[in-house]
Amino acid sequence: MKADTHPKYLDAEIRCACGNVIKTRSTKPSILIGICNACHPFYTGTQKFVDTAGRVDKFQQRAAKTAAAQAATAAAATTKKKK
């Protein structure tokens, strides 16, 4: 069996952007993450809308256009069947 094939596990800290620190073991001594269980909306039950450059509004406008187009197509199909 070869020697030194497995990495060394060290005590590590996982640091979140919210400030939460989790102690664990890893091959890296420090890990930086953007979101954790203390600040994730699924675990906290809070909903945050991050609307950068009006993306939510653009999506809602596209959805409304699609719904209107589908309704117009359905109306045209029903009037065509009546003739």
* CA–CA gap between residue 77 and residue 34 (Å, rounded): 50
Strand pairing class (10-16; 21-26): antiparallel
Residue 22 lies in a domain: yes
Q: Note whether residue 15 is domain-resident.
A: yes
Q: Classify residue 31: in a domain, yes or no.
A: yes
Mean pLDDT of 12-40: 90
pLDDT value, residue 64 = 92
Q: Is residue 56 in some structural domain?
A: no
Q: Residue 25: inside a domain, yes or no? A: yes
How far out from the chain centre does Cα 3 lie?
42
**pTM: predicted TM-score of the whole model, two decimal places:** 0.47
Mean pLDDT of 44-52: 68
Instruction: Supply the pLDDT for residue 25.
Output: 94
Ramachandran quadrant class, 25 (left: phi over 0; alpha: psi -120 to 50; beta: rest)? beta
Residue 79 pLDDT > 70, yes or no?
yes
pLDDT over threshold 70, residue 82: no
CATH number at residue 37: 4.10.80.400
Containing structural domain, residue 22: 7-46
Q: How many structural domains are present in the chain?
A: 1
Three-point CA angle 18, 22, 26, nearest 5°:
125
Between 5-9, 69-73, 75-79, the lowest mean confidence (pLDDT) is in: 75-79
Q: Residue 79: inside a domain, yes or no?
A: no
Residue 2 domain flag: no
**Tokens representing 12?**
């590590």
Tell how far CA 35 is from the center of its chain. Answer: 10
41, part of any domain: yes
